[in-house]
């Protein structure tokens, strides 16, 4: 697939890195020569220096033959204009990063389609929904639902009192239909568990289950159930504003903003949030603002290090649920080591949405995970595909692929070796990025 990406910022660069690992034909377009020179040493893709809204630059990037054009520059107007031009020049599909939630309304979908814009992503809104979901699933590091919550995937940090510790997968302990462990993150290594593998103290374990068995998973992993009623947010970012729009009424929010004018503006704008001007890094100030009465702390400043450290401080105050926006990918391991409860990264959220358009198979959901270089994909099985020919245990899948569950007629079920996959099943697969091209081929019907 030929993909042209306009914008060599963090999102464009991350997407280029991820897609280049699959062997996709990538061209990265940007008007900053210094950025492109730096990337040429680490990315084996094509580069074009020019303005994303320049017809000449777009032609040089080859948009006439592009299967997908993605505009992720900092400018919403530039992204939409670039998509319009790319579509007119011949790009099959276009995606624009936007800042205006109004554009996502179904009322305008046809209008934008006629302009040549196939889809739009609003990273701050994606991030806000992620935060609200994390505040609901308090004992999980990550939570992903599929098909109206028919199946869920969760990430859990395992402690020394969990029942699942030191149980080999071939011992029979996990031979039940209530949940399936699909991956283990241990230090910097991602493990797709085999028979002799075990879960160790400190592992980040990813499992798939149905909602009615979530409580069983919680008990097996030694987690306590608690609700979030009082939330403190540090940083009056656009994500914070979007959170205020979609957070449940039962959750009371106190927003700490350092900039006095911005705090005043947000105080007038956000009717359901108490906005306080102050420094969220100041321990004495946090005490004055009753941090010890909070159930959750969310750090959303534009400084990843400050967010991580603030969450670490919140942990010392006894706050069980902490969420940090960490846009610098290199800092994610540090956030994990300091036991930040959940990590928010707009690049990964945006990549998940964009990535769905790059897979040549029927895909209804893709999620790039924060803590591992892996994705969770929901494939829809076609009649006559390879996956319908034999039991799961005989599929001879690559070592870095694990089928966790499936949804049939709206009902979720955990997959085991004897499961027979049927046409129209929604199959949920955990896999490393490098395995996706071969995996997508398996879901197609042989010609």
Backbone angles phi, psi at 378, to 5 degrees: -105, 100
Residue 260's CB is within 10 A of a number of other CB atoms, namely: 10
Q: Could you report the per-residue pLDDT of 194-228, keeping only the tens digit for each?
A: 888 999 999 999 999 999 999 999 999 999 888 99
Quick check: do 127-132+228-344 and 145-220 share a fold? no
Q: Could you report the per-residue pLDDT of 358-387, keeping only the tens digit for each?
A: 876 577 788 888 777 788 989 899 888 888
∠ Cα 165 171 175 (to 5°): 90
Q: In what order do the strands lie in the sheet with 230-234?
A: 273-277, 252-257, 230-234, 296-299, 321-325, 342-344
pLDDT over 60 (residue 445) = no
pTM reported for the whole predicted model:
0.88
46-49/25-30 β-pairing:
parallel
- To which CATH superfamily is domain 350-442 assigned? Regulator of K+ conductance, C-terminal domain (3.30.70.1450)
pLDDT over 70 (residue 446) = no
CATH architecture, domain defined by 127-132+228-344: 3-Layer(aba) Sandwich (3.40)
Q: Please report, for the chain, the start and end positions of each structural domain, with discontinuous segments joined by +.
A: 2-121, 127-132+228-344, 145-220, 350-442
Higher pLDDT, 391 or 337: 391
Percent residues over pLDDT 90 in the chain: 67
Domain 145-220 top-level CATH class: alpha beta
pLDDT over 70 (residue 447) = no
Which CATH number does 2-121 carry? 3.40.50.720
């Amino acid at each position: 697939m030929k993909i042209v990406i306009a914008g060599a910022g963090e999102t464009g660069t991350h997407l280029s890195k991820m897609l280049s690992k699959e062997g996709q034909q990538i061209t990265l377009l940007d008007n900053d020569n210094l950025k492109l020179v730096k990337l040429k040493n680490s990315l084996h893709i094509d580069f074009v220096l020019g303005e994303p809204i320049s017809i000449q630059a777009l032609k040089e990037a080859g948009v006439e033959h592009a299967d997908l054009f993605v505009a992720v520059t900092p400018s919403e107007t530039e992204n939409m204009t670039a998509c319009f031009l790319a579509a007119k020049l011949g790009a099959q599909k276009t995606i624009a990063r936007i800042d205006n939630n109004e554009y996502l309304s179904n009322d305008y979908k046809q209008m934008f389609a006629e302009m040549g814009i196939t889809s739009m992503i609003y990273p701050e809104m994606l991030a806000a929904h992620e935060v609200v979901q994390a505040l609901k699933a308090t004992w999980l590091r990550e939570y992903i639902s599929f098909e109206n919550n028919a199946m869920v995937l969760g990430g859990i940090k395992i402690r020394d009192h969990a029942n699942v510790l030191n149980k080999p997968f071939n011992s029979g302990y996990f031979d039940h239909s209530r949940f399936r462990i699909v991956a283990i993150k241990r230090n910097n290594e991602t493990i797709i568990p085999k028979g002799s593998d075990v879960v160790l103290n400190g592992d980040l374990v990813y499992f798939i289950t149905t909602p009615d068995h979530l409580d069983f998973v919680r008990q097996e992993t030694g987690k306590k159930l608690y609700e979030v009623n009082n939330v403190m947010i540090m940083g009056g970012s656009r994500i914070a504003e979007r959170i205020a729009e979609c957070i449940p009424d039962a959750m009371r929010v106190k927003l700490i903003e350092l900039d006095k004018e911005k705090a005043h503006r947000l105080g007038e704008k956000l009717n359901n949030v108490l906005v306080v001007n102050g420094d969220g890094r100041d321990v004495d100030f946090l005490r004055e603002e009753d941090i010890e009465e909070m159930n959750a702390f969310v750090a959303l400043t534009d400084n990843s290090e400050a967010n991580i450290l603030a969450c670490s401080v919140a942990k010392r105050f006894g706050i069980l649920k902490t969420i940090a926006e960490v846009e610098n990918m290199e800092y994610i391991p540090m956030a994990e080591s300091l036991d930040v409860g959940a990590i928010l990264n707009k690049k990964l959220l945006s990549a998940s949405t964009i990535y769905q358009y790059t897979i040549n198979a029927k895909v209804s959901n893709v999620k790039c995970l924060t803590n591992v270089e892996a994705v969770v994909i929901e494939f829809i099985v076609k009649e006559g595909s390879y996956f319908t020919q034999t039991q799961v245990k005989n599929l001879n899948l690559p070592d870095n692929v694990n089928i966790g569950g499936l949804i049939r007629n709206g009902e979720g079920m955990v997959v085991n070796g004897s499961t027979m996959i049927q046409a129209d099943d929604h199959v949920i697969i955990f896999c490393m990025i490098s395995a996706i091209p071969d995996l997508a081929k398996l879901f197609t019907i042989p010609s």
